[in-house]
Structure 1
C-alpha cells in the first residue's frame, strides 16, 4: 500500500508531552506538570465513547490500557456529545483525534501540523482538563487522484491543487468532512466547482474519473487497493515537523490537511503516574495501520472490547 503522508513520527514520553503542553500554554507558566500536580483519588475512571464505532473502539483501547495499571475502569458508550460530558465531570477521560478535538474547543484554530495542532489543543482546553501524548495513529483527511493526471497538472503536493480547484470535482466521504478536509481546502483557497458525497468503498474507482479528486481519510480500507503500480495515487501533503527538527523547520510549509492523531483528554488530578505510564502503550505503539485494521474488524461486527483487549495484550509492555 502506498505510504500515507504525515503519519506522526517519533513518540515522546508522556512526561515530555506534559512539558510541551506547559510550554505551549501561557496559562500554565511555571508548572512542572498539569497532570501530576496532585495524587489521584482512588475512584472509578469513566471513559466516554461517542456514538460512532471508532469512538467505541478508542474508548475500549484506553480503558484496557488503564485497567492494566490495576484501577477500576468503566466505559460509558453511546454518549451523544462526549466533550460537554467531560467538561461537566460526568466522564473522566475521552479519547479522540487532535484536530477534531481542537475544532471543538477552538473552532477558529487553523493549525495543521501535528505538533502545532497538539499544542493548540493544549492551550484551548479548560483549566480542569489536560492531555497526554498523542499516538502516531491518525484518521487524517487524504486526497486521491489519477496518477497520470497529477503529472499532467504538475501537482506534487496538496497545495499545488489550489489553482486548479475551480475546474475540479471533489468527491468526498463523510469522514473526510469530519476530519476537517473541506474546511482546510477552503482555507487554502481551493474552491471546487462541485463537491459530492461518496461512500468510502467507491474512493479508488471515482478517483479515476476525469477532473475528479477524491477525499477520504488515512484509515480508509480503500487505500489498501493502492500500490506503486495503481493508476490512482494519494496526493502528498507537506510533511509534519518532528519534535526533534531544528528551528529551520519553522520555515517549511505547513500541511494543508490538519493532523488527526489519537489522543486522550482527561480531568486533572484523576490519573497518577501508573495510569499515565499505561497510556504510553497507546501513545508509543498504536499506528495508523493498527487503527485501520482494528476499525475494519469492528465495522465487520467484531466486539470492540474484545478487539481492543487483544491489541492491548499484544502490545502492553512492548
Structure 2
C-alpha cells in the first residue's frame, strides 16, 4: 500500500487533479457541498461498504455483525470497487463506513505526505481526512502491498530486496492493479526510489489468483500481492524487502462519516479494532481462498472466537 515520497511531484499532481474532478470542483474528494444525496444514515442504521477484494469484504461484515450484535442496525454493501468508487459512495451517502488501510488512505488524501511509521502515518491521516469524516482507532493488523518474486527468480538473480533488482539484466514486468502505473510505490516508485525500470501488466484482482498465476506462470517477473495473502506461503514466493520504506505502514482503520459516528458506534468498532491482528487477517484470507467460506461466515466465526460481545 504506500510510502516515502519525495517521488510524488508528477504522479501526485495527476492524482490530486483527478480527485478534484471527482469532488465536483473541490480538491476534497469527500466534499458534499455539491452532492444532492441525503445520505444513508439517519442515526438508526449504518451501511458498511467494502472494496472489491475478499479481505476487505470480510472486514466489512466484521464491522456490520459487531454493530448488529450491539443493537445497531447495520447492512453491508460489498465489492463496490477500488478506492475511487467507494470514496464516491461515501460522498453520495450510499455508505457510511468502509474498512481502510492507513498508508494508502493517507496518500490518497495527501500525495505529498512523508510519514512512514505506523504511528506517524496514522497521526498524519487523522489530519488529512476531510471535514465531515474521520478515522477511528487503527488496529495492530496490517496488510500492505508487497513485491513478490518466485524462489527460482530470487535464486537465479540473487534478488531478496527491491534494491537488488538493479542487478537483473532482463526486462522486468510487474503484475498489479492498473493504478499501480501511477501510485508512488508502484512503477514510479521503483524508478525514483530504486532506479529500476519496469513495465506494468495490469490485472484487476487485487493481487489475487490471476496475479499469482501471472507470476508463477512466468508471464511477469514481479507481482504486487497483499502481504496477508495465503498464496505467498503456499506458492513459496519470496517477498522482497523494502530498505527505503517506499511502502508505508498499512494498519486497518475504519473510515466513517461523522453523521454515522455516534458514541455507541465508535465504542463497538474500536473494540473490534483493538482485537484485530495481522495473523487474524491471514487466517481469514485462508478461510476465504482455501476453505471457500463466505465473508459473512468468516466474520461471525472471528467475532465468536474473540468473545468480544
- TM-score normalised over the length of structure 2: 0.66
2:25 counterpart residue number: none
Q: Distance in 1 between matches of 2:269 and 2:190?
A: 33
Among candidates 120, 137, 161, match of residue 164 of structure 2: 161
1:186 aligns with 2:156: no
1:309 aligns with 2:289: no
Q: Which deviations, in whole Å up to 9, do the C-alpha atoms of 1:156-181 show, x marking residues without a partner?
A: 643x3364467552443439949844
1:62 aligns with 2:63: yes
Q: Distance in 2 between matches of 1:76 and 1:145?
A: 34
Offset of 1:60 from its aligned partner? 0.7
1:267 counterpart residue number: 257
Offset of 1:311 from its aligned partner? 0.7
Q: Distance in 2 between matches of 1:137 and 1:129?
A: 22
1:236 aligns with 2:254: no
- TM-score normalised over the length of structure 1: 0.65
Q: Distance in 2 between matches of 1:286 and 1:126?
A: 26
Shift in CA distance, 90/171, structure 1 to aligned 2, threshold 3 Å: closer
Q: Which runs of 5+ in 1 are unaligned?
A: 1-39, 239-253
Q: Distance in 1 between matches of 2:288 and 2:152?
A: 35
1:247 counterpart residue number: none
Shift in CA distance, 69/185, structure 1 to aligned 2, threshold 3 Å: farther
Q: Distance in 1 between matches of 2:169 and 2:114?
A: 22
2:78 counterpart residue number: 77
Q: How many residues are matched?
A: 257
1:120 aligns with 2:124: yes
Among candidates 82, 85, 92, match of residue 96 of structure 2: 92
Among candidates 135, 143, 152, match of residue 147 of structure 2: 143
Shift in CA distance, 89/215, structure 1 to aligned 2, threshold 3 Å: closer
Among candidates 152, 165, 175, match of residue 172 of structure 1: 175
Q: Distance in 1 between matches of 2:116 and 2:190?
A: 12
Q: Distance in 1 between matches of 2:212 and 2:192?
A: 28
Offset of 1:77 from its aligned partner? 3.1
Q: Secondary structure at the match of 2:146?
A: strand
1:288 counterpart residue number: 278
Q: Distance in 2 between matches of 1:162 and 1:233?
A: 13
Shift in CA distance, 142/78, structure 1 to aligned 2, threshold 3 Å: closer
Shift in CA distance, 155/272, structure 1 to aligned 2, threshold 3 Å: same
Q: Secondary structure at the match of 1:123?
A: helix
RMSD (CA atoms): 3.7
Contact kept? 1:166, 1:193, Cα under 8 Å: no
Q: What does residue range 124-135 of structure 1 map to in structure 2 within 5 Å?
A: 124-135=128-139
2:11 counterpart residue number: none
Q: Secondary structure at the match of 2:72?
A: coil
Q: Secondary structure at the match of 2:238?
A: strand
